[in-house]
Amino acid sequence: MKDENKTKKQLINELIELRQSISKLVRKKDEFKRLKKILPKTEELYHLFVENFQGIAFMGKIDFTPIFFKGAVEEITGYTEEEFLKGEPRWNQVIYPEDIARISKSLEAIRLKPRYHTEREYRIVRKDGQIRWIYELIQNICDSSGNPILVQGTLYDISERRRAEEALRESEDEYRSLVESTDDSIYLVDRNYRYLFINKKHISRLGFLGNEYLYKAYSEFHSPDETKWFIEKADKVFNTEESVRYEYKSLRDGRYFLQTFSPVKKADGKIVAVTVISKDITDYKIMEEKLHSLSLTDELTGLYNRRGFFTLAEQVLKLSNRQKKGIFLLYADVDNLKEINDTFGHKEGDLALIEIADILKKSYRDSDVAARIGGDEFVVIPIGTIGDNIKIITSRLQKAIEIHNSKGNRKYKLSVSIGQTYYDPKHPCSIDELLVQGDKSMYEKKKSKGQ
C-alpha cells in the first residue's frame, strides 16, 4: 500500500508540474504573439530614429572593428557606412593626428576596464580634407564574467559650437587685452559692492599685490564718505538699469576722475553687477582751471579782467540784495599814462600798470574784488565797507601810492584819480550803470587835479 500511495503522490506532483509547464508555454506563446505584433512598429520606430538621428550611433568589437555605423555618417565624415564597415578607413585613421595621443589613454581604458564609459572631444579629418570637431560618448559592454567584449556610443558634430567658442575666446582675449592695456581704471562689483574684477591699472593704483581684492567689499579699501558716495551711484544703476557718469575727486590722492557706472546683465536681463570705468582727468581739470583763470584774469596785471569783474560783481549784487546791505565801488584811472608811454615807451607804461595793480593787491583783502577793466582803468569793490570807512580806504590807497613813489628812483611818479559810487539795494541798478556812475565821479576828481 505504501508503494501504491507513493506512486499516486508522484503522479499528482507530476500532474501539477505538467500543468505549470503548460501554463508557462501558454504565457510564452501569448508573449510571443504580443512581441510579434509590436515588432514591426518597433522596427519602424528604430528606422525612423536612425534616419533622423543627427549624430552617429555605432557599435564595434573590443578592438574597435565596426559592427555597425548608423545615422548622419556621410554628412559628418564624408565616408559611407559601408566604407567604415569594410575598414576603409578605420575610425582611428580619420582622427586628427595631433589629437590621437590625447585620447589614447581613454582608448586603453575602454579595452581593459569593465563597464568603463567616458566622453571626449577631438577633431576628425573628413574625406574631403575638412576638419570637424566631434563630441563622443563611448562605453564598453561586458560578458557575464565582466570582461569587455564590445564598444558602443554616439558621435556628434560640434564644429559650429567650437567655432563659436573660439570666436568668443578671441573676443574675450581682445577685450581683456584692451582692459589691461588701457590707462583707465576698470573694476566690477556685485550687488553687495564686492570686487569681482579689477584691471592691472586699478590694482596698481590701490596698491594690491594680486587677487587679494576678490570678493572683498569696496568699504575695506575706501573711507566711509567715499563708500557712501560709491554705493549711492551704484544703487542708481541697479535701480534704473541705466549707465550714469560722474566727476569724482579722490580723497586718497586728490586726483580727479570721470567715472562711468554701467549695468552688467545676465541672459535673462537681470542686473548682477556694475562695471566702473574710471578715467583720470586731473590734467584736464588743471588745464580747465587755467583756461577758466585766463578767461577771467588780466594777463598783464594778474587782476580780474572785465569779464572776471562782471562775473563776480553779479554775485556781489545778488548778495547785497539778499542781505539788504549796500556796497561801494571805487573807480580808479591812472594819471598821465599816455605821457609815460610817449616819453618812456610802452614797456615802461606796462610796468606802471603792473605796479598800480600790485599796490591794489596789497591794499585790499582777498575777499574784495579788484579788476582792470580797461587800458588804464581799475575798479575795486571793498566787500563789507560801510559809511565813512570808504574815505579811510580811499585815503589808504593814496597813501600806499605815495610810499611806493618815495621808494622808487624813476623820472615820473605814479598817480591815480579815484571816483566812488554806491549801490543801494533799495534802488537797484545794473553793473553797467554802476560803472558809469563811478566813471563820472572819477573824472570829476581828475578835473579837480587840473588834468
Q: What string of pLDDT tens digits covers the 451 residues of the chain?
A: 444 555 666 766 766 676 677 667 666 666 666 655 655 665 565 556 556 678 898 999 998 899 988 888 999 999 999 999 999 999 999 999 999 988 888 888 998 999 999 999 999 999 999 999 999 999 999 998 999 999 999 999 999 988 888 877 776 676 677 677 777 888 999 999 999 988 888 888 788 777 778 888 999 988 899 899 999 999 999 999 999 988 888 887 788 888 999 999 888 888 999 999 988 888 878 877 776 666 888 989 999 999 989 988 998 899 889 888 899 999 999 999 999 999 999 999 999 999 999 999 988 878 789 999 999 999 999 876 665 577 888 888 899 999 999 887 788 899 999 999 999 999 999 999 999 999 999 999 888 876 6
Q: What's the pLDDT at 232?
A: 94
Pairing of strands 185-190, 271-280: antiparallel
Q: What would the DSSP string read from start to end of 379-425?
A: EEE-TT--TTHHHHHHHHHHHHHHHHHHH--SSS---EEEEEEEE-T
CA distance to 192, 328, 374, 393, 416, per residue, from 397 (Å) = 63, 15, 19, 6, 9
CA atoms in the 13 A half-sphere facing the CB of 405: 12
DSSP 56: E
Give the contacts of 232 (CB within 8 A, at least 6 positions apart). none
Helix (H), strand (E) at residue 35 = helix 2-52
Only one residue has cell 556621410, namely 74
Q: What's the pLDDT at 2?
A: 46
CA 90/CA 100 separation, integer angstroms: 13
Please, are residues 372 and 303 in contact by the beta-carbon 8 Å criterion?
A: yes
C-alpha cell at 248: 569724482
Q: For residue 218, how many other CB atoms are within 10 A of its CB?
A: 19
pTM for the full model? 0.43
Burial class of residue 315, CB neighbours in 10 A (0-12, 13-18, 19+): exposed
* Residue 368 backbone dihedrals phi, psi, to 5 degrees: -80, 155
CA 128/CA 364 separation, integer angstroms: 93
Only one residue has cell 594680486, namely 210
Q: What would the DSSP string read from start to end of 111-178?
A: HHSTT-EEEEEEEEE-TTS-EEEEEEEEEEEE-TTS-EEEEEEEEEE-HHHHHHHHHHHHHHHHHHHH
The candidate with the shortest Cα–Cα distance to 298, out of 370, 400, 401, is: 370
The number of residues in the chain equals 451
Longest alpha-carbon distance in the chain: 176
Q: Quote the distance between the C-alpha of residue 173 and its chain's center.
A: 16
Please, are residues 275 and 264 in contact by the beta-carbon 8 Å criterion?
A: yes
Q: What's the pLDDT at 184?
A: 86
Pairing of strands 416-423, 377-381: unpaired
Burial class of residue 401, CB neighbours in 10 A (0-12, 13-18, 19+): buried
C-alpha cell at 224: 566711509
Please, are residues 279 and 346 in contact by the beta-carbon 8 Å criterion?
A: no
CA 82/CA 43 separation, integer angstroms: 21
CA 228/CA 118 separation, integer angstroms: 53
Q: End-to-end alpha-carbon separation of the chain, Å?
A: 173
3-state helix, strand, coil in the chain (%, to 5): 50, 25, 25
Q: What's the pLDDT at 441?
A: 93
**Strand partners for 153:** 58, 138
392-395 long-range CB contacts below 8 Å, 24 or more apart?
A: 393/330, 393/363, 393/364, 394/330, 394/418, 394/420
Q: What's the pLDDT at 5?
A: 52
Please, are residues 371 and 306 in contact by the beta-carbon 8 Å criterion?
A: yes
